[in-house]
Every structure is written in C-alpha cells, then in structure tokens.
Copies of this chain bind each other. A is one copy, B any other.
C-alpha cells in the first residue's frame, strides 16, 4: 500500500508524543524516519519504528534525556548521549560537527551512551545539505565474526560518507557486513534470496539464504578479512574518542543500547572555490556513469542515486509501506 508523507510523519509524531517524547523532538524524529522510507530505505525507516517504541517501553531509551557536550578541545568534542533517543542524539552531534567545521574547517564529534540511529545516511545527508562533507560511523552489538572466527565479536558498524552535490548529496551508507541486518530481515520476510553470498549456513558453506545465515549468525564481512579489519578499527575509533562502550561492552548488556558513534564534518570550500568543487564532482560522476556496462540492462549508479529515484516515486505516488507493518504501527495510536 502507499501512504502520503504527511500522514506517515504525523502518525509517528503522535505515537512518539503519547510515549512521552516532547513535541518538537517527536516531530524531528518522525521526519527523519519518514525521510528514510521516502528514500526507499524501508529497512531503516518505518520498518524499525516498532522497535523504537518497544525500547521506550522497556526503559532502554530515556525519552526525557538530552545530549550534553562534556569535553571539548579545538575542533574535537565529546557528547554524552544520556541514553536518549538515538536519532535526536545523532542529529545534534552532526549539527555540532558542522558548526565546528564552519569554524575550524573540520570538526569531529564523538557521542557515547546513545541508541540506534536507524539510517546512518540521515546524518551524512544532514552535513551535505549544509554544504559540507559528512563522515560518520557507529558501533553495534557483536553481530559478525572476525575473519577466521565462528562466534560474533565484531559489530557490523555502519560507516557513512556524504559529499554535498546540489540540494542533497552523494551518500554512501554501508554496514561492514555484505548485507545489513535490516536488509537480511527484509529479504527473509519476503522469502527472497540474496543476489550474492551474504554469510555462512549451518554447515559452514557460503549461502544466499537469509534465513540460513540468520540461524547460524555468521554474516560475511565485506571483502572478507578487509571488512573484518575495518569493522574493528571503527569500533576502536568510536570507543577511544567518545570514552563510551565498545562492541564488547555493548554485548555484555541485555540488549543493544548505549552505543558509541563518531561524526566528522569537513568544509571543502574553505580552501577551494565552490565552483571548482562542484566541477570536480560532476566530472567524476559523469565519467563513472559512462563506463562500458556488463550488458545493456545494467546502469552504473553513484552511491545514493537509487534512493533519489525511489524518493521521487514515493513523493509522487505516496510512500510504499508494507500493510502488516502499517497495521502494527497504527495499533499504537
């Protein structure tokens, strides 16, 4: 079914307010989630809304908490998330990084004791819309084995890089697992296979079956040993910069909360003209898109381009929503 942007947003804001979230914060969070679904990232938009409500009800998310800057040195800042709403904390932190970038050319904010930010690209796009580069990453609970291991001791720690490009941005949003858990559960619920290997089955063989991969819990790191290493480095960076919990520490809790995140903003126009930056981006994007493709049905996309297309469609025709998920959500009204 398709539902209009305004209805999705207001429904969610109403539900959040009924759970004690203050009005302006509820509107902001509802906007972020609606935007993710509008961009076609359903797995990290509407489809995750129920989990937020559950976490509020379980007392894992403190709806009355606000982020606080607890330490600062030049262009580096540390924010205490006080276990508040993940989206609110992350938006606030990227806003601080943008402000620092306007002052120092670059800003780096680390955030501790925060909760799931849902779609990481949100904060990259926030920077890009402000005309600056945005880089951010989060750690997660242990959900991916290190290369050579059977048990999960790494997070799949999504990393985002966004570059301003006109009104929105080019944005890469990637978990360190070949498929995000959101994507795996989305495909599992539709009984669809993965296009490529995404992890191991119970016999230790590479598999394209989301349900087999889930049952064994062995997701495949991107680039095998390389994604395993990158995941570890992102966890170390988030932990040592914020003073917050590592993937190990998060794994010792009853569920995934109190994660650590990093937000970096860089202003490319401090040392280069806006025109030269824009020209460079256009040239490279044109070059890549004009590659010789595998066949005539293949299109080369830049990161975030397919979301732009789904966005246009969703704004025009209403946002594509799974009926089950929608019924689940409006039950909360």
In the complex, the answer to whether B230 meets A161 with C-beta atoms within 8 Å is: yes
- Among B74, B236, B268, B283, contact of A284 (Cβ-Cβ < 8 Å): B236
* B76 A266 Cβ-Cβ under 8 A: yes
A78 at the interface (CB under 8 A from B): yes
Q: Chain A 246-265, CB within 8 Å of chain B: the 1/0 string? A: 11100000000000000010
A16 at the A/B interface (Cβ < 8 Å)?
A: no
| Contact residues in B for A77 (Cβ distance below 8 Å) | 271
Interface string of A135-177 (1 = CB under 8 A from B): 0000000000111111101100000010100000010101000
Q: Are B149 and A248 in contact (CB under 8 A)?
A: no
CB atoms of B272 and A240 under 8 A apart: yes
A158 to chain B, nearest CB (A): 11
Is A315 interfacial (CB 8 A cutoff)?
Answer: no
Chain B residue contacts of A153, Cβ below 8 A: 287-288, 291
Task: Known A233-B303, A283-B248, A291-B149; judge A266-B108 contact (CB<8 A).
Answer: yes
Binary CB contact string for chain A from 288 to 323 against chain B (1 if under 8 A, 0 otherwise) = 100111100011101100000000000000000000
Task: Identify whether the interface residues of A are mostly helix, strand, loop, or mixed.
Answer: mixed
Q: How many residues of A contact B (CB 8 A)?
A: 77
A280 touches B73 (CB 8 A): no
Contact flag A148-B298 (CB < 8 Å), given A76-B266, A108-B266: yes
A selection of 23 A-B contacts at a CB cut-off of 8 Å is A72-B271, A73-B270, A74-B106, A75-B105, A106-B106, A133-B240, A146-B288, A148-B299, A149-B288, A151-B291, A161-B230, A163-B237, A172-B233, A174-B230, A222-B224, A222-B226, A229-B302, A232-B302, A236-B284, A239-B284, A240-B277, A243-B272, A246-B287
Q: A148-B293, A161-B237, A240-B272 are in contact. List 15 more A-B contacts (CB 8 A).
A: A72-B271, A73-B105, A73-B271, A74-B103, A76-B105, A76-B267, A77-B271, A78-B272, A146-B288, A146-B300, A172-B230, A232-B303, A240-B268, A240-B281, A247-B284
